[in-house]
Structure 1
Amino acid sequence: MPQTILKQCCVRTHLKINGENVNQGSGVIVQNNNEFYVLTAEHCIHGPNLEYKEITPENIIIEYQNDYTSPFVKLKILSIVEIDHNHDWALIEIEKPNIICDFLKVYRGDKFIEEEKIVFRGYQNVNVGEPRNFQAKVIELASNEFKITLTDESFEQGGELGSISAKGLSGSGVYIIRANRLYLIGHVKSVLGEAALNDDIKCCRLRNLDKLINSHWVDLDDPSELKLWERANEDKLTDEDVEKWVACNDLYFNNILRKCNVLYPEEKARRVSRERTLAFLEREYQNNEITSKSDLITQYNATSEVFEKSVKEDYSRNVADSNEAKDLLIKLESEFSEHIKDLIGDKTNIMNLNLARHKVTWWLMNCSFDFKD
């Protein structure tokens, strides 16, 4: 679904100057409430040296294809909404396109991070009749722009200068795809250097247009968005992984096994210890992955330390029987889940409980909290 919508949003731009099509570029269809626009680079409309600064809507050509083999269909341009030379963007209002596509399924993304994988789609001047996708990643961030680089190919192919292969891609929509959702985060401004050095590309942040495009914004470091990303990238561990971990961390496993022996009969205690260890390792993996996307886990660990110090004396004690130990464990997990709920912001409480169980398991492993019969 995201790839289909991404293709449907891609357009080609030209200017009609003295009866000829010049200054070919790319663009992306954006719907904001009930209005439709094409976002492209400013120099695709005004020219690289502002030679077409006085261009009028009737001399701007914007076209789309139903697929890469189909003929081009012109979009009706209503007005030039605004053009920003400094940040290299142009917003053109168009009539609702005759494309079967739910453009509102494209979210506007911000607060993404370096190393985030992205995709952009546009029309190269060397193959102006067919659009194509490019895989890349974010390598540097600035307040109004960001820099990306290609990851699985190069503009410099067949001995051609990279700048020739890259020409025409300015204005291409730049996207992040997470958990089957499509986020438009900006558009291509320019390929760096005459030879497309290192295949580095400057992009304009979509956030520069937030006063004009004001709906469907999502902060990609928000906990709810991280959960979507996490589910899409979940790596399930196996019993073999637990065995390897136990072999290297037998002290921690023995600690949790000893506590489970207080809670359950011997056979069940070993099974629960392994299950709890497996869940801990999976959560640990996911936390490490989220750390590269957000400071959420750093904050989670910091508040965990505060909680641990404040209640440690209450939970480290002898227990009369297994039922008292179970009640103590449930109470500890419940209180910690409540402690982190505002930080996590999970209305379903699922992530809160998973994180609470993860942290309590670690405390049982390292004996921060200890109970004995």
Structure 2
Amino acid sequence: MMGALVIGGGPAGLMAADALLSAGHPVVLADAKPSLGRKLLMAGKSGLNLTKAEPFAAFLGNYGAAAPALRPMLSAFPPEEVMHWAEGLGQTLFTGSTGRVFPHGMKASPLLRAWLARLDGMGLERHTRWRWTGWDGEAVLMETPEGARRLTPGVTVLALGGASWARLGSDGQWAAIFQGAGLPVTPFAPANAGLCVDWSAHMKAQFGAPLKGVAFHAGDLASRGEAVISARGLEGGGLYPLSPALRAGAALTVDLCPDVDLAALTRRLARPRGKQSLSNHLRKVVKLSPAARALLMECARPLPEEPAALAALLKALPVQHVGLRPLDEAISVAGGVPLGALDAGLMLKDRPGTFVAGEMLDWEAPTGGYLLTGCLATGLWAGRAAAARLAAAPPPDH
């Protein structure tokens, strides 16, 4: 029997391997792709957002319904510990004005290289192009370039990702293996995804334009942040936190003037406009950007002339949409292994010795450092629990 097997070479899998190696256990890490950390590297192309520096209660609240279950893991590896960990890998960090934490170099590749060098130095045995195909009794089945292999690890940590960005490795094919083994899987659904809007031809001039200084509302959720008008609808970090409500079919409204209350906005709009067009009046007295004015005209023309009615519209502009973008285009997913199917150490109740971490788990969080911290924290937690199980196991018979 070998020591530990970790399947999946993203942040959760690497953190689980780190925890196991740190506890003195030999680890084999397998990944189906030709190289490790592909989704992490892609995330780093626009600036690697490691975590979010904010009070823990506010941080935890961004994990929604899964927050109570994830609290122990996130408490054990909160944002300040994520920062210390990255600094320990030689990364100098800075915190932006919104609390988001980045490496000074912005990219993921230096951190990943340093991390893999650390793990290699600890004795990690890693294999790429090894795809997990299921179980045969206690054996873990792998398809490798050298053919099929049967492994019998003391513990297994599964960190195979969700079902978005399949080309980077998170293809969700593991769900069929789980279902075939009688293990529960909550169906996947897009999270942190763009919103599909059927624009008229008038909006073409705004494609690529940002909507700044606005607030988005859907159901009970609200978000301040930027979104971009695209040919297919709206996308961006300001919109992504609304994914749970939008996925459930909630209407979207946009507050184009979130820093001005309704009464003050009504007074501004009541100013005489003379011979100015309504569009120019809005530009001058409300200071709407061209993109915001275009959105207003697209969604609410003909505009009401009465100041109070127009002000109410500016504070809650309805944007008709046809749902979120497809699953594989989402940044992350909802769905996966229900947390109720796992024990306190993230071990499958129905398959002792097998642990699950990262985006395989049924939780979701917005972008802004929450996703990556969640993956790291659950990987560390599962790795430590797996290490404790190995340490408690009786020695193999000779």
TM-score (normalised: structure 1): 0.28
The structure that has the greater radius of gyration is 1
Q: Which has the higher contact order (CA 8 A, sep 6+)?
A: 2
TM-score (normalised: structure 2): 0.27
